[in-house]
Amino acid sequence: MYRIATGTTHGLADTDAFVRLLGRLRGTAAEGLGDFFDARGELTVARAPGRLDLMGGIADYSGSLVLELPTASATHVALQTQEQRSLVVASLAPGGEGAPRLFEMPLPDFEDEGGRPLEYADAARYFERGGGRHWASYVAGAFLVLMREKGFRFERGARLLVGSSVPEGKGVSSSAALEVATMRAIDAAYGVGLAPRELAFLCQKVENMVACAPCGVMDQMTSACGEADRLLALLCQPAELLGNVALPEGLAVWGVDSGIRHSVGGADYGTVRTAAFMGYRIMADAAGFAWREAGGPGRVRVEDAKWGGYLANVTPAEFEEQYERLLPERLEGAEFLRTYKGINDPVTSVEPARVYPVRQAARHPVYEHDRVKKFSGVLQDWRGGGQAEELGALMYESHESYTACGLGSGGTDLLVRLAREAGPAQGLYGAKITGGGSGGTVAVLGAREAGPAVAQLAARYAELTGRTPLVLQGSSPGAAAFGHLKLV
């Protein structure tokens, strides 16, 4: 067995179970892994939760305020350094059912012939989707990002074991939990010295530049900086932490999975994100902002002292009165590029043959930021009464806006409709699709005692669709609050 030399499990049952698992692996061939760790070596263990997006969602990349809850489900990473300059990663199958996924690479593969860190584009090709090792980019990519962004040189390699209870493809940020747990373990094992906010940004870089998924930073920031049972308030300009907001004592939040797989790298999310930046570019041009081509073909830099480059800083009144009518409902990429040359998003590109929903994609963050501010204001001035229904109405508006962008799905729409039909009479006040949309999980706001109503909603959904939804409840600390363990 391993002994905890530094840190505490904080009484978390999943961490206790992971430490026991590591003990069973010590010097044995358990779990189909052989003798994975050197029984004489120290292990560093980090933990990072998923997140449930209560409000804000896809407006994060446009500078919105977001309210995020770290989930009870989390990812653990155990890391042991080794003399050999190579990375060996084993990812346990969910629930321990099935063989672990294995990946191995020499660390010098992340260096060019002159010993300099590999370019991100080259690393992305190394892990490209469909090659069988894309999953490992979320882990191994952290080493390259530290090499490039922090100038850190890894003289020793590492063996990493990953165990996660965050469901994949459900829109609750399994990828961010994996990145943050990995980065935190590396930070602690090698003594890099990262602050939590910086760690989150570096994890976003892993996802954007190595795994090639164009996410905002709210997922990584919640996983790194969140607190148990509190909503992380984050102004995504780019990531100003405004503190943690407690839910009123009588309220609770659940996540109900639609059974429709969500992917932040999917075409729908990417199309809507790109369309929002196209809308911003058109509005900036109408406002007379100076611009220049920068960062390669299809990319521009805008001099914007008024909105700071963020659609969320445009007020709804300003949008309606001056800009909405200028935005085409749909616009082909080639036509946009001919007129406006490019967008100021560093991680997506305008595809000439694609048609983009420019007006609604730009409209969503303008109004979502306003909705989230109102939602936060109600929480901070909580008096009870009908305020829970006010919160619910804002959630339903947010869901409708997602759908108008093209990011809805039959399953998530049905779950929201069932929550609305149950209504306050059964203790359910609001519901909305979460994160990147196009499937995944619906966040449900209800009275604290409304668990049976949520279970009934899930049962009705299963009856109508044949898909039995996973129901998520509870919260846990982010990676920074958890810290790390040293096992000997």
* Lowest-confidence region among 12-16, 56-60, 461-465: 56-60
* Phi and psi angles of residue 238, each rounded to the nearest 5 degrees, phi first: -90, -25
Give the residue ranges of DSSP H helices in 26-136: 120-126
What is the residue-averaged pLDDT of the chain?
94
Residue 247 has pLDDT above 80, yes or no: yes
The active-site residue, picked from 53, 219, 268, 304, is 219
pLDDT digits (tens, 9 = 90+) for 272-329: 999 999 999 999 999 999 999 998 999 999 999 999 999 999 999 999 999 999 999 9
Domain segments of the chain as ranges: 4-247+476-487
Average pLDDT over residues 131-158: 96
User: Please, is 54 exposed, middle or buried when counting C-beta atoms within 10 Å of its C-beta (0-12, 13-18, 19+)?
Assistant: buried
Q: Output the six-digit token pair for 183.
A: 């980065």
Q: Cα dihedral sign for 106, 112, 115, 119?
A: negative
Q: Report the CATH fold assignment for 4-247+476-487.
A: Ribosomal Protein S5; domain 2 (3.30.230)
Residue 82 has pLDDT above 60, yes or no: yes
Q: Rounded CA gap, 367 and 150, in Å?
A: 37
Residue 267 has pLDDT above 60, yes or no: no
Q: Output the six-digit token pair for 265.
A: 């790298």
Residue 22 has pLDDT above 90, yes or no: yes
- Using N-to-C axis directions, what is the helix angle for 218-225 and 174-190, rounded to 10°? 50
- Using N-to-C axis directions, what is the helix angle for 267-286 and 333-340, rounded to 10°? 30
Q: Quick check: is 219 catalytic?
A: yes
Q: Cα dihedral sign for 59, 51, 482, 181?
A: negative
Average pLDDT over residues 424-432: 98
Q: Rounded CA gap, 251 and 454, in Å?
A: 13
Residue 230 has pLDDT above 60, yes or no: yes
